[in-house]
Amino acid sequence: MSDLTLELAKQLIALPSITPQDAGCQELIGARLRRLNFSIERFDYQGVSNLWARYGSEGPLLVFAGHTDVVPAGPEQAWTFPPFEPTEHAGFLWGRGAADMKGSLAAMLTAVEAFLTVPEPKQGSIAFLITSAEEGPGELGTPIVLEQLAARNETISWCIIGEPTSQHVVGDMIKVGRRGSLTGKLSIIGKQGHVAYPHLADNPIHLACPALYELSKIVWDKGNAHFQPTSLQMVNIAAGTGASNVIPGELTLQFNLRYSPMLTAEKIQQTIHHLLDRHGLTYRMEWHHSGMPFYCPPADLVQACQQAIAAVVGIRPELSTSGGTSDGRFIAATGCQLLELGLCNDTIHQIDEKIKISDLTSLHQIYLAILKRLLC
Ligand SMILES: [Zn+2]
């Protein structure tokens, strides 16, 4: 089986699917699934390719989710081997997308192939939710498929996303949640004037300083057993006309919060508006809420995953909620159990992205062991 996984990973890497292009990856995956009697649907949308493939009609439904798109390769001459010519060298498979996440897609697909060809009694259904937009315009990908599923009451019981979550060896870390992400764009309004006549102006930098200092000092929460503390980081600040004799009329600030499920976006917004109002500021605020936090409690999905990893690689995975947002934020919102488990992430988005070939074999076996635990 491992050779089949390696071959498929190489076929996928050879297709230069720079986000949001799919470059034929879903065609290839769909053809393999059709042979297993999956029903295939495409929900392509505004240049993004989205695939939903399902085997069986009964519950519970286990979904493998992932993306075929990759980030750009960067300067090709900097690569040891051309990024879209998958190369086996020194025990590694090299190529853009090897870890993030064409290797995982290959391992999922060959695991399902192996699972369905074994003549054992099985329960439930299996599906694949694949998009070409995860690295780019994410909202045109996974949410488009989820809308279709919601419209026909098709509910997901468990979801495994193949994002590269491992650190040193496959299975040493899985993600059982992610923090939420909220961005604020604040404009503090003053009055422009000559620096020599400050009584005729209102300096928005001076107005902002005490409030922004206070904002930077807020302790939002202390985190909990599963989540790091919520953090607000200011990422940009600007004011000034470029002249040394002009008091600017406006200051703009951008900040982002990564927040735990102990808070809500509404609560954070209220706190910040209250602080700005207390400082008597005149301001405009724009909010962008790009991801709700989620957490998957250690029920049957996490347990099946822990047992599978222990059986295949003999380690106990760390259950983490660290890192940036993922498409898990959309899928977890449907109420299913969801976790992320994939290859090592130490070279993702880098020049010379690569994975250990032995990790690819292990991941195939881990996914297969999860299928057996949940659906047999
Ligand atoms: Zn990814």
pLDDT score recorded for residue 1: 45
pLDDT score recorded for residue 2: 53
Mean pLDDT rounded to a whole number for the chain:
96
Residues with pLDDT less than 50, the chain: 1
pLDDT score recorded for residue 291: 87
Helix (H, G, I), strand (E, B) or coil at 159: strand
**Distance between CA atoms of residues 191 and 203, nearest Å:** 6
Among 22, 69, 163, 250, the one annotated catalytic: 69
202 catalytically annotated: no
pLDDT score recorded for residue 113: 97
Query: Is the distance from CB of 215 to CB of 201 less than 8 angstroms?
Result: no
- CA separation (Å) from 329 to 197, 287, 334, 349, 359? 52, 18, 9, 21, 26
Residues that place a CB less than 5 A from ion ligand 1: 100-101, 163
Q: How far is the CA of 348 from the centre of ligand 1 (A)?
A: 8
Q: How far is the CA of 1 from the centre of ligand 1 (A)?
A: 24
pLDDT score recorded for residue 119: 81
**Distance between CA atoms of residues 184 and 200, nearest Å:** 30
Amino acid at 118: V
Query: Is the distance from CB of 165 to CB of 355 less than 8 angstroms?
Result: no
Six-digit token string for 196: 């020599």
CB atoms within 10 A of CB 188: 22
134 catalytically annotated: yes
User: What pTM was estimated for this model as a whole?
Assistant: 0.89
Q: How far is the CA of 102 from the centre of ligand 1 (A)?
A: 9
The distance in angstroms from the start CA to the end CA of the chain is 20
- Tell me: the pLDDT tens digits for 105-128? 999 999 999 999 988 888 999 999
**Distance between CA atoms of residues 3 and 90, nearest Å:** 16
Query: Is the distance from CB of 255 to CB of 162 less than 8 angstroms?
Result: no
pLDDT score recorded for residue 315: 97
DSSP string covering 245-265: TEE-SEEEEEEEEEE-TTS-H
Q: How far is the CA of 156 from the centre of ligand 1 (A)?
A: 21
- Tell me: the pLDDT tens digits for 253-286? 999 999 999 999 999 999 999 999 999 999 999 9
Helix (H, G, I), strand (E, B) or coil at 202: strand
